[in-house]
Chains A and B, each alone.
Chain A
């Protein structure tokens, strides 16, 4: 696996921690296992409310992987609160959704990157590397 370094991603990724927000436990665990196996730190949240809690009480991640359809606080609502919070607004977000119109939905909440479910391992690693840089394998 080749790592592609980008200035942008280095600048924002200090903790090299990725926040995975999805109401499906298996998806959270699959992505978490893959990233942890490759040396990234992973924080998990089952909905937008939990995600906001983690952002406000833990270290800022270098990237948020965000599902849209979730109970309690969905992806759109989370994004709106994140964007309006100065401290959190700069954290890059990549949408992960199985929805057919993910691109439009991503654009509608000011997010330019998205990954459509079902996700490819390589695509996840690629987007994480770009934002958080390469990590040594554990």
Chain B
């Protein structure tokens, strides 16, 4: 201020909108500006020269003269910046409250700036200077409005503007007042001012480039015209708003939106938003690709691709999300437009556009169809691998079992024991219960059972006979029975049982069991063959031993008799020896020669029978009764020596038979009865009927052991030890062969210690040609 010339300083002071009053050191008003004049409602010419107390309420007047001045001065010293409150009396006597700032100017002058307190704004109107008051108020509004305001006259010349306008335009008031806007560069200003002056309301939004400094400010401007009472347009007002911040916010928002839109569209994951009514609101490109529906065909429509069977579940879940629940990585599936299933993992959250208001849901989905498929494939593969491993392990187990069982089966010829061991090997891994049955002479015998006794014995025993008779395996879930077979013959059955907790039998199990059954069958057959061979060998060896004994016996007496006669002849004593002794020696020679002949004949018979060259010489009219009697007579001496008298009760009966062979039969039976007759009588009974004849030879000797009855007709067999009873053991064998060649039968009935009866029955007309 000090640098200005007094006129400029006065003008500056005048232009200050704040009511300002200057006091001289005596406390009188020395100067006031226009604003103060309006505020205090005192004309300046009246106010200047007056003590300040004149406009103060009575309570301030106490501090008249220096004291008031000193008080004000103290404020400049203590807190020049702080305003203090005071009141003054308007010219109409109304007390107005103001905030007052005091500053020390020069030569102890004080400058008081007075700001009317807003709360005292609505008090009683100024009765005499209302216009001033109203004007003042307008001014206040004008000055303090946050908008840039200005007035221009009909030529477009700015006549008034507020500080905000000055700030926005970036200039100063002096430069602006009196500026003709129509001369400005800014075309929008020119256009708008012209428009307003033409009676139009004008609006502009855009950048304003200030003439000074080239500062660009985004603005919004409105222009209105002012009409005089006569209707002519006297000027206009403009309102200018700096919208930099709003613009920035809008730009930021737009940018954010663009980013979000880009993200939304570029998202590789389907993003879908639906309204609370389940209508599609957002449907991005990925969703289009994954589900096959275009956003354009879906927006505003209900979600179309919920699988019907999942509908209820979907809406329950949707309701939960609307209620505020957030779902994370939930796996489910939707449908593709082409109807195929799309497996998804979804995360869903409620969508809230305004506080407290749910506008739907937003859902991000991941297409996991491939993953699911891969997973399923992997699972299937793993399962396959696991199954394969298990199968391999089971196969290994079966192989081991088969190897062990085979080894056990082959280890011994005692097959009962062998089968027991083999069966036990199946336990407990392959089966928990086993049973082995063997067919012995038509009867099924339980050889081994584990555990013993078998808990399900009945089942095993009903199943096994079925398997043995059919030769086919029985396969139940927990019960398996296979035949023991060799060369198509069933020798028995192997039964296996599993506990309820074990897996059921598979076809591989059945094959394994059948293989074991087959191997066991072979082993049993081998063992039986071996046993039979051994028996045959034993019988043959025994026969050879017996045969040599039987042959040596007659040769011994024959040789001794001959050597004795020879020695006597050599000594010359033959002539002098007792004739009876010589005769007995010769008789022995004859008898033993015949005996030897018979033995040789027997052996030859066996040989013929074996070779199938045993033939009958049949002739009609052979009398069996006569034949029996003649044989008894022929063997009289031997029977007597054995102490066995023979009683013959024979009907004459004739048939077409081989007489010599039947003689052999009767001889053999009689010799047999004599040998085992224990020196008791022997009965021969011959009977006849229409078609057959029968011959029974009974002794009362030692009888036959029941278990020997079956085999006494076999070759080389005998009912008792050869150490007691000599003979080749061929008599009964040959007798049976002869009888059977006649199509007859031979049977024995015996009680041990009571003797035995051999009965031969012959058809009287032997039909066949004979031969064994």
Residues of A within 8 A of B (CB): 23-27, 29-31, 33-34, 37, 68-72, 74-76, 96-101, 116-121, 124
The answer to whether A72 and B724 touch (CB under 8 A), given A98-B552, A99-B548, A99-B549, is yes
Q: Are B641 and A25 in contact (CB under 8 A)?
A: yes
B567: chain A residues at CB < 8 Å are 121
Q: How large is the interface on B (under 10, 10 to 19, 20 to 34, 35 or more residues)?
A: 35 or more
Answer whether residue B462 sits at the interface, using C-beta atoms and an 8 A cutoff. no
- What are 12 inter-chain pairs, A to B, with CB distance below 8 A? A24-B557, A26-B554, A26-B561, A30-B557, A30-B561, A30-B588, A37-B568, A69-B549, A69-B722, A98-B552, A99-B548, A117-B549
Q: Are A117 and B553 in contact (CB under 8 A)?
A: yes
Closest to A1 in B: B567
Q: Are A37 and B564 in contact (CB under 8 A)?
A: yes
Of B1-9, B444-452, B577-585, B742-750, the stretch lying at the interface with chain A is B577-585
A74: chain B residues at CB < 8 Å are 721, 723-724
A40 CB, min distance to chain B CBs, angstroms: 13
Q: Are A98 and B584 in contact (CB under 8 A)?
A: no
| Cα(A62)–Cα(B553), bound, Å | 24
Q: Are A119 and B725 in contact (CB under 8 A)?
A: no
Closest to B588 in A: A26
| Cα(A74)–Cα(B545), bound, Å | 16
Closest to A46 in B: B641
The answer to whether A23 and B545 touch (CB under 8 A), given A98-B551, A117-B552, A118-B555, is no
B581: chain A residues at CB < 8 Å are 33, 37
Q: Are A31 and B560 in contact (CB under 8 A)?
A: yes
A34: chain B residues at CB < 8 Å are 560, 563-564
| Cα(A57)–Cα(B675), bound, Å | 27
B33: chain A residues at CB < 8 Å are none
Q: Are A117 and B555 in contact (CB under 8 A)?
A: yes
B561: chain A residues at CB < 8 Å are 26, 30, 33
The answer to whether A33 and B585 touch (CB under 8 A), given A27-B560, A121-B567, is yes
List residues of B (606-660) whose CB comes within 8 Å of A's CBs: 641
A107 CB, min distance to chain B CBs, angstroms: 17
| Cα(A106)–Cα(B172), bound, Å | 164
| Cα(A53)–Cα(B721), bound, Å | 23
| Cα(A24)–Cα(B555), bound, Å | 12
User: Of B559, B560, B723, which contacts A69 at CB under 8 A?
Assistant: B723
B560 CB, min distance to chain A CBs, angstroms: 4
Closest to B547 in A: A98
Answer whether residue B706 sits at the interface, using C-beta atoms and an 8 A cutoff. no
Q: Are B557 and A27 in contact (CB under 8 A)?
A: yes
List the 7 closest pairs (A to B, CB-CB), nearest first.
Answer: A98-B552, A26-B557, A30-B560, A121-B563, A117-B552, A98-B549, A118-B555
Answer whether residue B726 sits at the interface, using C-beta atoms and an 8 A cutoff. yes
| Cα(A117)–Cα(B585), bound, Å | 18
Closest to B724 in A: A71
B569 CB, min distance to chain A CBs, angstroms: 13
Answer whether residue B556 sits at the interface, using C-beta atoms and an 8 A cutoff. yes
Q: Are B726 and A76 in contact (CB under 8 A)?
A: no
A23: chain B residues at CB < 8 Å are 726
B588 CB, min distance to chain A CBs, angstroms: 5
Answer whether residue B591 sits at the interface, using C-beta atoms and an 8 A cutoff. yes
B556: chain A residues at CB < 8 Å are 24, 27, 30, 96, 98, 117-119
Answer whether residue B275 sits at the interface, using C-beta atoms and an 8 A cutoff. no
Closest to B592 in A: A26
A124: chain B residues at CB < 8 Å are 560
B556 CB, min distance to chain A CBs, angstroms: 4
| Cα(A101)–Cα(B553), bound, Å | 15
Q: Are B588 and A98 in contact (CB under 8 A)?
A: no
Closest to A76 in B: B723
Closest to B561 in A: A30
